[in-house]
Amino acid sequence: MKQRSFYHLITPAAMAAVDRDAARSGIDSLGLMQKAGQAVSAAALRLFPDAMRMAVLCGPGNNGGDGYIAAEALRMSGVDVQVFHLGDPALLKSDASSAFLAYRGKLRPLAEYVPCSGDLVIDALFGAGLGRSLEPPVVEIIEAINAASVPVVAVDLPSGLDGLTGHPRPVAFQACHTVTFMARKPGHVLMPGRALCGSVEVFGIGIPHRILDAHRGEVAVNTPSVWEGSLPKLTGSAYKFTRGHLTVFSGPMSATGAARLSAMAGLKAGAGLVTLAAPAEALAVNSAQTTAVMVKEVDDLSTLRDYLQDTRMSAFVLGPGFGVGEKARAFALALRDRKLVLDADGISSFKDKSQDLFAYFAKNVPTQLVMTPHEGEFARLFPEIAKDQTLGKVQKAQAAAKCSNAIVVYKGADTVIASPDGAALINENAPPWLATAGSGDVLAGIIGGLLAQGMPAFEAAAAGVYMHGEAALRVGEGLTAEDLAAAVRPLQIETAF
């Protein structure tokens, strides 16, 4: 992961280490806090110039310190400012205490804050240091402010939001804008955190990048910079066989549409040839509805083995509409040495039998297996990981990838792509109109199409998720899975015709 150019996220724990290293290297920590607080004040003035009052809620740590700096800067700008403090400000430590002492305005306990129309709330209660769930009085205040619908600008993170997992503990402010410092945290990108933050501004307070780089972890945003170097390159001498041959397995006669969506998406993603491998009963219905996609009879394990003799068959998609059961399990295991996207019924077939699957694919290095579960499918395959309340979506996907030796694409509005080596990407370009029947089948086909063209599994999965989002954005609201499959385009960053 270190070799690739990534748009990294910084966990709250890593941010605390950055903070410590910055102080050790002689950087003035109060100066950092002053820049942070001033950035918050500037955002409040820019976004809410007509606020009648700015209520700055200051907590017991450095997040509160940022709040006191912002409050003083706003007061100096002529704004009607009132600070509401949590805990005894006399107990504030070091920089936060200095920030408090420099504040010359009005001060009242947090419990006395009553939201009024015309207020802007600046939330500086807790940021990266939220170490446990909030207690009842603070929960009630946050709920009352959210219910009053006064706008909230959050400092670093909306208070109550866990910066690592993106989960509220147990509630968080609904902010309209969040000002964070140096880099976003996973909680800004994961749901529901992403929605609770509103717009997110990343303000550089002057911590040198070498310090940040030293604490960058394995989690990044899914952007083309991660995988564009691995995208298939279309050269003038291309021939359909050099662009890979994708096979998508069709379900029985009554369930063929999902596989056709995958097949079309694989072709649009750039695979040179795509074949629907269908049982005899489904040959006619598939043939009647395909043109560029070919159809071939593959009924059972023995015909599959014959089919696999052709080593030009470069990648496979198994699961969309396929049917849950023994046949799906046998097909998946027969494909253990090939590049495989296991989706939908292909995943559900291994409920209570996941160890067989994991054992068969354990030895592939690097892995050639991509699994694309939504939340329900994830829980079928990884029940213990799914129910572990201490893990966020990224940690769940990482644990699942490790125990299955597969690239796990844990789908949703915040799809996480995780690799057995611990690398994880959070996707953020998917619009909500992707929540429609069949859109997952299209995703499986795109990833299959990229695998067929020779992209490594992690990069193919990540690029596929990104292309899926781009295709959905091109179509717009009201999209159907057919529109989506038709809108898929290769992302050709470098072309050399």
Ligand X SMILES: NC(=O)C1=CN([C@@H]2O[C@H](COP(=O)(O)OP(=O)(O)OC[C@H]3O[C@@H](n4cnc5c(N)ncnc54)[C@H](OP(=O)(O)O)[C@@H]3O)[C@@H](O)[C@H]2O)[C@@H](O)CC1
* Residues flagged as binding site: 62-66, 123, 127-133, 156, 159, 258, 321, 374, 411-415, 440-441
123 binds, among ligand X, ligand ADP, K ion, none (CB under 5 to 8 A by kind): K ion
Backbone angles phi, psi at 177, to 5 degrees: -155, 140
Residue 258 Cβ vs ligand ADP, minimum distance, rounded to whole Å: 7
Backbone angles phi, psi at 160, to 5 degrees: 100, -20
Binding site for (6S)-NADPHX, by residue number, is 62-66, 127-133, 156, 258, 321, 374, 441
Residues touching ligand ADP: how many (CB under 6 A)? Answer: 18
Choose, by CB under 6 A, the member of 72, 441, 459, 483 that binds ligand ADP: 441
d(CA 209, CA 189): 21
Using the contact rule CB under 6 A, the part of the chain among 121-129, 233-241, 247-255, 438-446 near ligand X is: 121-129
Build a one-symbol-per-residue string for 398-417: x at contacts with ligand ADP by CB under 6 A, - elsewhere.
-------------xxx-x--
Using the contact rule CB under 6 A, the part of the chain among 12-20, 101-109, 265-273, 430-438 near ligand X is: 12-20
d(CA 399, CA 385): 7
- Asked whether 248 and 296 are in contact (CB, 8 A), the reply is no
Q: Is 241 left (phi over 0), alpha (psi -120 to 50) or beta?
A: alpha
CA angle, corner 160, sides to 66 and 109, nearest 5?
A: 60
- Name the DSSP letter for residue 9: -
d(CA 225, CA 353): 37
Closer by beta carbon to ligand X, 32 or else 407: 32
Q: Does 130 bind ligand X (CB under 6 A)?
A: yes
Closer by beta carbon to ligand ADP, 338 or else 374: 374
Residues 359-378 that bind ligand ADP (CB under 6 A): 374
Choose, by CB under 6 A, the member of 9, 14, 15, 298 that binds ligand X: 15
Q: Does 348 bind ligand ADP (CB under 6 A)?
A: no
Closer by beta carbon to K ion, 60 or else 127: 127
- Asked whether 448 and 266 are in contact (CB, 8 A), the reply is yes
Choose, by CB under 6 A, the member of 90, 112, 117, 132 that binds ligand X: 132
Q: Does 193 bind ligand X (CB under 6 A)?
A: no
Would you call 336 exposed, middle or buried from its count of C-beta atoms within 10 A (0-12, 13-18, 19+)?
middle
Residue type, 411: K
Build a one-symbol-per-residue string for 35-74: x at contacts with ligand X by CB under 6 A, - elsewhere.
-x----------------------xxxxxxxx--------
- Asked whether 331 and 249 are in contact (CB, 8 A), the reply is yes
CA angle, corner 331, sides to 327 and 332, nearest 5?
A: 115
- Asked whether 244 and 251 are in contact (CB, 8 A), the reply is no
- Asked whether 232 and 490 are in contact (CB, 8 A), the reply is yes
**CA distances to 236, 267, 270, 456 from 496, in Å:** 7, 21, 16, 21
For the record, the structure tokens of 330 come out as: 């046998």
Choose, by CB under 6 A, the member of 111, 114, 435, 493 that binds ligand ADP: 435
Which of 42, 38, 39, 83 has the alpha carbon at shortest distance from 64? Answer: 83
Shortest-Cβ-distance residue relative to K ion: 159
Residue type, 46: R
Binding site for K(+), by residue number, is 63, 123, 159
Closer by beta carbon to K ion, 180 or else 286: 180
Which of 435, 434, 433, 443 has the alpha carbon at shortest distance from 467? Answer: 443
Residue type, 183: A
Q: Does 33 bind ligand X (CB under 6 A)?
A: yes
Count other Cβ atoms within 10 Å, centred on residue 496.
8
Choose, by CB under 6 A, the member of 83, 89, 127, 483 that binds ligand X: 127
Using the contact rule CB under 6 A, the part of the chain among 128-136, 140-148, 439-447, 489-497 near ligand ADP is: 439-447
- Residues at the contact surface with K ion, assessed by CB under 5 A: 123, 127, 154-155, 159
Residue 388 Cβ vs ligand X, minimum distance, rounded to whole Å: 21
Q: Does 200 bind ligand X (CB under 6 A)?
A: no
Q: Does 434 bind ligand ADP (CB under 6 A)?
A: yes
Residue 160 Cβ vs K ion, minimum distance, rounded to whole Å: 8
The residues binding ligand X (CB under 6 A) are: 15-16, 18-19, 22, 32-33, 36, 59-66, 126-135, 155-156, 181, 205, 207
